[in-house]
Amino acid sequence: MPGIIVDGVVTEEAPNEVNSSQNKDNLSAPRSPVASKSMHSEALEMHVEGSGAGEPSIEQLYNNVCEMESSSEGGSPSRESFGSDGEESRIDSELRHLVAGEMEAMKVIEEEEVEESGNAANAVAAAENGTPVKAQSSNSSKKSSRKAAKSQLESDASAGPNGKASTEEGETEVSKPGNRVGRRRKASANPQNGSEDAGLSNPDLGPFLLKHARDLIASDNPRRALKYALRATKSFEKCAGGKPSLNLVMSLHVVAAIYCNLGKYEEAVPVLQRSLEIPVIEEGQEHALAKFSGCMQLGDTYGMLGQTARSLQWYASGLEIQKQTLGERDPRVGETCRYLAEAHVQALQLDEAQRLCQMALDIHRENGEPASLEETADRRLMGLICDTKGDHEAALEHLVMASMAMVANGQETEVASVDCSIGDIYLSLGRYDEAVFAYQKALTVFKTSKGENHATVASVFVRLADLYNKTGKLRESKSYCENALKIYQKPIPGTSLEEIATGLTDVSAIYETMNEHEQALKLLQKALKMYNNSAGQQSTIAGIEAQMGVLYYILGNYGEAYDSFKSAIAKLRTCGEKKTAFFGVALNQMGLACVQRYSINEAAELFEEARAVLEQEYGPYHPDTLGVYSNLAGTYDAMGR
């Protein structure tokens, strides 16, 4: 995602191409306009502010404190800490209370969560068995009390003046009932003993906790990382004192990224909305770019939720802020224009996508060298847009220029991806021999660079199968389909489920044209399972379900067809795609299933809605619209109207 705030300063990063090689090769299974992995990794690439020259870092000091504690437990005298003359220095004392205290508090919270989850499980089991839940024994309560008190005593032992142990506080803690929460209540009652409020007001604590959150994300532990990030946010908020703080904005962006990493996109939305309220554009460029970054991240999140309209709206808001801040001809604005163009392509808003892509191309030609990497990426996207709009000659021109630039830059693998796109255009133009040559050229490169069992090799097999199917060579077509399925059924490690599902959908379409409907249906069912009702793939899932409905209808299973269409249409309504031509076609198909089930009134309602949508999208004389007119007339006749 372009634009990350690092230590209160926004650094601009070029928006990643949204799975460019896959999206540009195939539009049959549109995906959310978001590079989720890119968004998460970029939002978390942050660093902790360094200490002044010659001063130890917070992490060094904390490690030193831990060494002191471990040596004191063994009865040996404490080592001298950094900047200490043998006694507890001021910084060591503060660190013991503020940092080590925070770390210990986090451990206690986690222990309590484990206990609560265990108690909840016991309660559920007891309820199922019809037996009452027994209270925890006093012995175990006392044991946990002693452990908590011992830990607190070790933490506070050297907190007294001149490093002397404060035994009175420790004895008081031991004498209290065995409740871990009691230790935290005690801490909050006395700020000098590492209270939560005092810890959060330490300006060094927020960066320290965010660093640990980043480390936990790197070690694939996002749930613990979320706890640290939330506490860091509280610390930054307390230190800000109600004033606009870029550190707080950065922390909120990280929290939202972790929520997205956990699949909790709904919870990320209010966090990002709050981050947009903090920056004041009039305060300078850093605040403006912080707001731009939040808009783009919010657009990504709405995209993962399948809310395309809101996603595009926030992308547009971010672009306007970036233009006002950096100027309309800045190269970074060009990168954002291409990012938005890709999003509009996936939303099938091709005119707006072409306008934005042309803006990006003009900006990069102005600011960069001829045949630069940025211009090459723009031309690849423009070729895809022109091809989708049916302007195959213009698409071929853009892709050939992009291929020549890549050859000059030594990007052989990327050239192979462009060759696949060139083959697609030759296929659309009916120039089959040239299409075969382009596909075979790409296939040779992919086998050499990626291996013969790579999913990219399978995608070329699917293209060749489609080509031979269209030229009537069914034996060759089926052979290439089988080769592709062998790779998809035993994918190499690292292959995404989405890539496999897309491939299965494409092969299913070829089998359908061969009238092998049952085989096509099995492949679609496998693809549907791989998506697992993902929140960010609702539009794609709806497309698969609609196609399954068509196959069920052809096979005479009208009940299953009705259920598939109903589920697909519900998802399309939720995603905000109820005004697209695809939605109108799906309504018409569901109406036909209702006719076969003798639900005439429901069929009439569906045909009427389909007519309104298709008249708006296609006009009254399009074949699909005329088909709906015919179906609606037959339904009215059956109803006696």
Most confident among 60-69, 517-526, 567-576 (mean pLDDT): 517-526
Q: Is the pLDDT of residue 527 over 50?
A: yes
End-to-end CA distance of the chain: 56
Nearest residue to 24 (alpha-carbon basis) of 379, 305, 349, 372: 379
* Inter-residue contact 435 to 423 (CB < 8 Å): yes
Distance CA 624, CA 480 (A): 33
H, E, C per residue of 483-503: HHHHHHHCCCCCCCHHHHHHH
Domains and their CATH numbers in the chain: 200-324 (1.25.40.10), 327-410 (1.25.40.10), 560-640 (1.25.40.10)
Tell me the pTM.
0.63
Token pair, residue 450, equals 């990626």
* Inter-residue contact 272 to 292 (CB < 8 Å): no
Proportion of the chain in helix, strand, coil states, percent, rounded to 5: 75, 0, 25
Q: DSSP string of 184-195? A: HHHHHH-GGGT-
**Crossing angle of helices 101-129/138-156, nearest 10°?**
170
Owner of token pair 């801490």: 187
Of residues 523 and 175, more confidently modeled: 523
Token pair, residue 293, equals 């970054």
Q: Is the pLDDT of residue 213 over 90?
A: no
State phi, psi for 243 to the nearest 5 degrees.
Answer: -90, 155
The count of other CB atoms within 10 Å of the CB of residue 21 is 18
Which pLDDT belongs to residue 197? 57
- pLDDT tens digit string along 89-135? 444 444 444 445 455 545 544 554 555 555 555 544 544 444 444 33
The count of other CB atoms within 10 Å of the CB of residue 30 is 18
**Crossing angle of helices 373-388/331-346, nearest 10°?**
30
Average pLDDT over residues 630-641: 90
Q: DSSP string of 335-361? A: HHHHHHHHHHHHTT-HHHHHHHHHHHH
Average pLDDT over residues 270-289: 90
- Place 208 in a pLDDT band, splitting at 50, 70 and 90: confident
Token pair, residue 587, equals 């309504």
Distance CA 541, CA 78 (A): 62
Token pair, residue 580, equals 């697209």
* Inter-residue contact 498 to 64 (CB < 8 Å): no
Which pLDDT belongs to residue 238? 86
Distance CA 105, CA 93 (A): 17
- pLDDT tens digit string along 37-90? 344 444 434 333 333 344 444 445 445 444 444 444 444 333 333 433 444 444
Owner of token pair 């309602």: 605
Token pair, residue 446, equals 């992919």
> Any alpha helices (H) in 328-431, and if so which ranges?
331-346, 350-367, 373-388, 392-409, 412-428
Which pLDDT belongs to residue 110? 58
Q: Is 496 left (phi over 0), alpha (psi -120 to 50) or beta?
A: beta
How many residues does the structure list for the chain?
641
Q: Kindly provide the b/e burial profile for residues 389-410, where b requires at least 16 CB atoms within 10 angstroms of the residue's own CB.
A: eeebebbbbbbebbbebbeeee
Owner of token pair 């196609």: 547
Torsion sign across C-alpha atoms 20, 21, 24, 28: negative
State phi, psi for 49 to the nearest 5 degrees.
Answer: -60, 130
How high does pLDDT run on average in the chain? Answer: 75
Distance CA 169, CA 187 (A): 11
Report the DSSP pairing between strands 9-11 and 4-6.
antiparallel
Which pLDDT belongs to residue 304? 87
Distance CA 583, CA 577 (A): 7
Which pLDDT belongs to residue 560? 94
Q: Who contacts 172 (Cβ-Cβ below 8 Å, separation ≥6)?
A: none
- pLDDT tens digit string along 252-275? 999 999 999 888 899 999 999 999
Token pair, residue 301, equals 């999140």
Looking at this protein, which amino acid is placed at residue 295? C
Torsion of CA 271, 300, 260, 208, to 10 degrees: -60
SS3 state of residue 147: helix
- pLDDT tens digit string along 325-335? 999 889 999 99
Which segment of 63-67, 264-268, 508-512, 542-546 scores lowest on mean pLDDT? Answer: 63-67
